[in-house]
Structure 1
């Protein structure tokens, strides 16, 4: 398994411990069991181990003993905002669970426990809310370590996370669920943290290794306090397909033929009984460290993930003068004792369909000889991320200024796309021209594309084997002819295409569906031919993984996806999924991944070093020493693309790798890349296929929403931001959902339904929406909304959407007297998609009302396990035109 190496990045560690409690039994009837003096030693030992571990600089570690939930929240928010590489959260103190045992609570110093049918923990933090806050972190990886009773009960909330959050979040729990543990005698640390610190001190260690070794040690030497006692078995959660995380790599420097080890980590009060830090380091020591940290350039003008921030963090690394070890900044991996400075980090933005393959390629490059200097040090690191293809093109062409300096919530590529990239690899060569600014407006970005693609994959019909044509010659033809032949073999056959807004492959498929992008079939008719319940899948892999949820649908549904996904898009439901064969439409342009160097105005302080790093990766990835591509014997990045089922970027597009995965080795002459004008026209016609859209927003304005109301991140602000995808011809309105019991209408009008100027609507919603000291009735409101929208869609096929933004506090009213079943029946009958947008991280968990309502209506369920604001904006944009005219 690959390992995420956070050294040299903007990392943060937040160590939270509660050794003393204000209210303890028997003095206080609602107090906790007692103080935990061992926790003070935990904080001291772990802080010193991390400072010596080479990953966290001294000024990136925060130690806190919060008295209140507010204090904890402030420290957590600060760590989340600051971390860009690795974010580590550690908690040690009392943990508690209600009688149902379904959620862990972390008790702060002023916590009390009110007994009852289900205990109430006042002054405590629910673990679910911590996960919600962590989900908005920019950090590449998040590691949480819990040393408390019932720590294992935290696993349920982790299991409910979305796939993306599970991939980047690792959780280490000191004990299995529903078990209390011994905190020790108070003269030293708790048994779990004592062993954790020893392992961190021993040498290089990753999360997976630590978890395994802790589990082996604790289960062999300790038992829990349960009756009868059980072996003490720490638990862990980490995505099996994700990279491990390096947590400690204490540097070692040869001295006189012997190896100097890091000094021992002692357990004592931090900085003595007075709690004061030692005096600042001498100017000479600081100078030595700055000299060690100095490297050519810096980076100016790039707000996210900047070199300036990284350098500031690196300079704070402590130097252990007496121990002869400089920790953290210098990484002694050159093999000859010479220090290696942190490698320069490159940022690579790509199409969502290409992201998995490019991640594999980047991992292979980072450990290759091509990425090593003569003395064995790593030249560069690479962060790979993706964003919607249409939004990326728009950001490059029209939003390069706010990409550098966001000016508001409505236009913020840093939030919607990601950090400014050094490299862009679109899935279509034509997207490069589409992204270049053609108007006289000022631009802050220059795109330098290779003259030709380095790989290729045709967009194919992935046909269930039972429906596929047998002779190879019958598997090539026009899209219309191939789909007609499939429907002749199966009258109920369906065809699905991915979201044209999100991937280039979806847009290329749309060109074929519309008959070339400028003429041919009526877009509305073409869209009805690929219509499905709910919105289209965001990627080809998602589409291929969703179909097996319904065996009958899987057996009769053909997917328009890139050919390579027949090889790589099989990592789901492998035991039951339908086998597929590729058929090749000659009128659908193929994917043509292209390497693009991205330059930003003002970002020139480390330009030469960055150019050198980019060129090294480009040469390795594409096989391009000059201007020609040689794919006859794939190596480097082309070998990775070959393993994933791609073809050569030029010539006859021969496969870069082998293997039989339902594709034809030589289907004949394959379509070339799309024309930029064809892609632009197809996207325009897709957005206008069924005319302007209608969206009805339901804003929960009941009393429980008071703490989720103010500012751009409050409920009215979230709805205002989601209007970015609506234009002047779209119709929309907002209802405030709250009312007195028995009132004739359970909502009030915040914004009248109709056409609006977007900026005026965005100002009006926060100004008009008010929290009321009343309850919400989601059943009555949703029934009324479904009826309201049905009346407006009787004479046309315009897209419609209902959005309900709520904290789920009043969802219990949905379950009264069979109401939920009635609502689901109404949702199925009306066929207006409902997006349930829950401000509760578990709002979309299986079995919850939000998930049931969205599924029945053909809509999506969104909660705060993902980026709710961005995803809601995307859902609304699919319904609207986005044009202000």
Structure 2
């Protein structure tokens, strides 16, 4: 089982420009932002605290867009997500920049270059980085993420994932009369309704594959992606269409595939796994109470499954897992995960500002195999 990024240690910045003076307006973009923020902060989705999901609508100048991203990058320790919707434009050298309200095609100084955004996000301390671009020419960013020499020097970051709404030279679509842009509308539908037949949680690769198939079926631009290492396994949201298989089907298939304690990276992941274990058994809480050894009252099991922090002692949890049918060796692994996360939970959770670095101590110097040359 893979867990959602820790909401307390993650940040999201959602940027959108719908009004332009010299370019076609994109009214649907104004609807994208609050809808996406609602999904990311919903308890049944990512459950980001409202203060950790910053909406930046109609930024007029470069700093209006980039300062919130820099602030989020300074505080994110688990995952940083940056989303942009608006016009994607090309400068005289064919490089991508994001259109601001007063932007002019061909003049990157009137907007925000992708290079400027990338320099901020790739220098943050977050373990994982997600960039979602809903704009024309967004596929150009794929080349910037993975060009032949840029790959080693600028983008080899474990856990980075770039999702682009359109191919390198393609146009994103904002259909007239529709509430959202084509790409973000489909993304919202997936996050709000889930995907039938998929796992309890939706990772980025699963979302990407559904986006491609649904948009292609509608004759709309197909998204592109670029990911590093295991970034595609990053969970983006709970799957609202998830339904556990009937107990009879699981029995016929053999051994139950219990959640893996090695994947419990946060206390929330552990608590969610307890609930998933009960779903996998197909048993009611009273039935589990009767199977527990030593005995556990139904009300105690119910309180365990509705906790928001880890239990202070192990006894009830161990009895509950025994009732679910886990083997003693598996329960020992769960207990080790509980001990590890209890220690983590007791540590102060207030994000600390990123340490100041000298200009030489940038992300380039932290890349594997790179050494600064002697002066």
TM-score range, shorter chain: 0.5 to 0.7
Equivalent residue, structure 2, for 1:246: 235
CA-CA distance at 1:77 after TM superposition: 0.6
Question: Which protein has greater RCO, CA pairs closer than 8 Å, 6+ apart?
Answer: 2
Q: Is the 8 A contact 1:166 1:238 kept in 2?
A: no
Equivalent residue in structure 1 for 2:188, among 174, 191, 197: 197
Equivalent residue, structure 2, for 1:20: 19
Deviations 1:560-579 (A, max 9, x none): xxxxxxxxxxxxxxxxxxxx
Q: Does the C-alpha gap of structure 1 residues 210 and 870 become closer, same or farther in structure 2, counting only changes over 3 Å?
A: closer
Do structure 1's residue 209 and structure 2's residue 201 form an aligned pair? no
Deviations 1:48-92 (A, max 9, x none): 111221342222111111111111111111110111111111100
Equivalent residue, structure 2, for 1:718: 359
Equivalent residue in structure 1 for 2:37, among 24, 43, 47: 47
Q: Is the 8 A contact 2:161 2:231 kept in 1?
A: no
Equivalent residue, structure 1, for 2:272: 331
CA-CA distance at 1:150 after TM superposition: 0.9
Q: Does the C-alpha gap of structure 1 residues 186 and 136 become closer, same or farther in structure 2, counting only changes over 3 Å?
A: farther
5 Å matches for 1:505-584?
none
SS at the partner of 1:162?
A: helix
CA-CA distance at 1:131 after TM superposition: 1.3
Do structure 1's residue 124 and structure 2's residue 114 form an aligned pair? no
Equivalent residue, structure 2, for 1:145: 132
Partner Cα distance (1:379, 1:248) in 2: 26
Q: Is the 8 A contact 2:365 2:372 kept in 1?
A: no
Give the strand-richer structure, 1 or 2.
1
Equivalent residue, structure 2, for 1:391: none
Partner Cα distance (2:367, 2:208) in 1: 34
User: TM-score normalised to the size of structure 2?
Assistant: 0.66
Q: Is the 8 A contact 2:29 2:86 kept in 1?
A: yes
CA-CA distance at 1:332 after TM superposition: 6.4
User: TM-score normalised to the size of structure 1?
Assistant: 0.30
CA-CA distance at 1:340 after TM superposition: 5.4
Equivalent residue, structure 2, for 1:670: none
Q: Is the 8 A contact 1:171 1:238 kept in 2?
A: yes
Q: Does the C-alpha gap of structure 1 residues 253 and 128 become closer, same or farther in structure 2, counting only changes over 3 Å?
A: closer
5 Å matches for 1:783-862?
none
Q: Is the 8 A contact 1:14 1:79 kept in 2?
A: yes
- State the number of aligned residues: 288
Q: Does the C-alpha gap of structure 1 residues 252 and 177 become closer, same or farther in structure 2, counting only changes over 3 Å?
A: closer
Equivalent residue, structure 2, for 1:61: 53
Equivalent residue, structure 1, for 2:260: none
5 Å matches for 1:361-376?
369-373=331-335
Q: CA RMSD in A?
A: 3.8
SS at the partner of 1:91?
A: strand
Deviations 1:430-466 (A, max 9, x none): xxxxxxxxxxxxxxxxxxxxxxxxxxxxxxxxxxxxx
Partner Cα distance (1:241, 1:130) in 2: 23
Partner Cα distance (1:123, 1:342) in 2: 48
Do structure 1's residue 875 and structure 2's residue 372 form an aligned pair? yes
Q: Does the C-alpha gap of structure 1 residues 61 and 99 become closer, same or farther in structure 2, counting only changes over 3 Å?
A: same
Equivalent residue, structure 2, for 1:237: 226
Give the helix-richer structure, 1 or 2.
2
Partner Cα distance (2:231, 2:310) in 1: 22
Do structure 1's residue 169 and structure 2's residue 160 form an aligned pair? yes
Q: Does the C-alpha gap of structure 1 residues 372 and 18 become closer, same or farther in structure 2, counting only changes over 3 Å?
A: same
CA-CA distance at 1:180 after TM superposition: 1.3
Equivalent residue in structure 1 for 2:72, among 53, 68, 79: 79
Gaps of 5+ in 2: 195-200, 244-265, 279-301, 312-329, 348-355
Partner Cα distance (1:146, 1:128) in 2: 14
Equivalent residue, structure 2, for 1:105: 97
CA-CA distance at 1:237 after TM superposition: 0.8
Equivalent residue in structure 1 for 2:364, among 850, 863, 866: 866
Deviations 1:350-382 (A, max 9, x none): xxxxxxxxxxxxxxxxxx6544259xx966469
